[in-house]
Chains A and B, each alone.
Chain A
């Protein structure tokens, strides 16, 4: 991997791609839109003299975001989604919150209405992509190796292979992790955080960055509430404390309760993604 993420360098594997990174890890791109400090190579000593043998240290102003590289990849993806009228949703949660079950049910219920494709991120195995493909949707697995999150560059490559349809729905199931994926923009329209009621109700304030970055929180597995000591109101209050604009929907992907609200939200967001887009027939 040659984007900002170094934690799984060279270990990322995208299904169906023999991506060997023959362009090497150390790029020397010259991106026109990067801020470049302006410096002159004169000595910094008295009279700006170059004195042989003496140190010629100088200061360079950079003012560049550490994640600027990732953000460029994300912007490219976002542009692609816009041009093709694709609604892309980045699903984030801790491991075991029921992301994949939620997805398979969602696809089952919506595939008659929309073309749907899925990018699956996991450290290892293609199990999740296989589960998705069993529903009939297009799916592509990205294994991040040691990496703890997907980044804009990986998603860009995945799009080359997956080629989601014009006007379709794209779900990106991020690596189960409530910390790192918060910082890495993939170009998605919305981050959707999934929290199951078998987890603690204080997760939103324990992992504030993620709930701050998300536009929607799905409170999953509510069919289990009678057996648990989980305070739904408090959980929602915590989430809104971190992010006053966050929307919260309660549902159960197993029983189907509340799923209609989620589908409504998808339909509304999809319309917003496509309003005024000449590429997509109304």
Chain B
């Protein structure tokens, strides 16, 4: 998608938090990325290193926590896992699914100094 701009967004949050939380260096960043968020983890890693260069998070390590895509199947009346938005229910084959989770792109935690 636009992983480079997302990394810029991450950097902004890191810089804001540096003031409120009182740290000057970020050593590790944990991101939660859902399977349906449209974010390509490899592109994110590439963009991350480039964007963080020369900032408070220079050479910080990026840890990506993958979250599965979740949907509610109306036919089965229960939650199921899906890998993409256009997928059918893995159990009954119905497309009557309501995506309930997996579109996260969230900064979860930092290791700072």
Q: Indicate whether A and B interact.
A: yes
Chain A interface (Cβ within 8 Å of chain B)? 4-7, 9, 26-31, 34, 36-37, 39, 41, 55-70, 147-149, 179-180, 182-183, 204-205, 208-209, 212, 238, 240-242, 244
Q: How far is the CB of A195 from chain B (nearest CB, A)?
A: 15
* Contact (Cβ within 8 A) A7 B4: yes
Complex interface: chain A residues within 8 A of B22 (CB): 41
Which chain B residue lies CB-closest to A6? Answer: B8
Decide yes or no: A4 and B109 within 8 Å by CB, A29-B16, A205-B86, A242-B85 being known contacts. Answer: no
* Contact (Cβ within 8 A) A6 B7: yes
Other CB < 8 Å A-B pairs besides A41-B22, A58-B111, A69-B12, 6 of them?
Answer: A31-B16, A57-B113, A60-B110, A62-B108, A66-B6, A68-B13
Complex interface: chain A residues within 8 A of B20 (CB): 30, 36
| Pairs across A and B, CB under 8 Å, 27 listed | A4-B8, A4-B12, A6-B4, A6-B5, A6-B7, A6-B11, A7-B5, A7-B8, A9-B8, A28-B16, A31-B16, A34-B16, A41-B22, A56-B113, A57-B111, A60-B21, A62-B110, A65-B104, A66-B10, A66-B13, A66-B107, A67-B6, A68-B13, A179-B1, A182-B38, A183-B1, A208-B85
Decide if the interface of chain B is mainly helix, strand, loop or mixed: mixed
* Contact (Cβ within 8 A) B15 A60: no
* Contact (Cβ within 8 A) B5 A5: yes
* Contact (Cβ within 8 A) B4 A209: no
Which chain A residue lies CB-closest to B3? Answer: A7
* Contact (Cβ within 8 A) A66 B31: yes
Instruction: Tell which of B17, B51, B86, B111 touches A241, judged by Cβ atoms closer than 8 Å.
Output: B86
Which chain A residue lies CB-closest to B7? Answer: A6
Complex interface: chain B residues within 8 A of A39 (CB): 21
Which chain A residue lies CB-closest to B55? Answer: A26
Q: B90 on the interface (CB 8 Å rule)?
A: no
Chain B interface (Cβ within 8 Å of chain A)? 1-2, 4-13, 15-17, 19-23, 27, 31, 36, 38, 51, 84-86, 95-96, 98-99, 104-113
* Contact (Cβ within 8 A) A62 B107: yes
Complex interface: chain B residues within 8 A of A26 (CB): 12, 15
Complex interface: chain B residues within 8 A of A180 (CB): 1-2, 5
A242 to B86, CA, bound (A): 5
Complex interface: chain B residues within 8 A of A56 (CB): 113
Complex interface: chain B residues within 8 A of A241 (CB): 86, 95
* Contact (Cβ within 8 A) B21 A67: no
Q: How far is the CB of B39 from chain A (nearest CB, A)?
A: 9
* Contact (Cβ within 8 A) A62 B113: no
Decide yes or no: A183 and B21 within 8 Å by CB, A66-B10, A205-B86, A241-B86 being known contacts. Answer: no
Which chain A residue lies CB-closest to B84? Answer: A208
A54 to B106, CA, bound (A): 31
A205 to B88, CA, bound (A): 12
* Contact (Cβ within 8 A) B31 A28: no
Complex interface: chain B residues within 8 A of A244 (CB): 96, 98
* Contact (Cβ within 8 A) A28 B107: no
Complex interface: chain A residues within 8 A of B9 (CB): 4-6, 66-70
Complex interface: chain A residues within 8 A of B19 (CB): 28, 30
A240 to B98, CA, bound (A): 11
Which chain A residue lies CB-closest to B18? Answer: A28
* Contact (Cβ within 8 A) B38 A57: no
* Contact (Cβ within 8 A) A37 B85: no
* Contact (Cβ within 8 A) A27 B2: no
* Contact (Cβ within 8 A) A36 B21: yes
* Contact (Cβ within 8 A) B107 A64: yes
* Contact (Cβ within 8 A) A59 B111: yes
Complex interface: chain B residues within 8 A of A242 (CB): 85-86
A29 to B17, CA, bound (A): 9
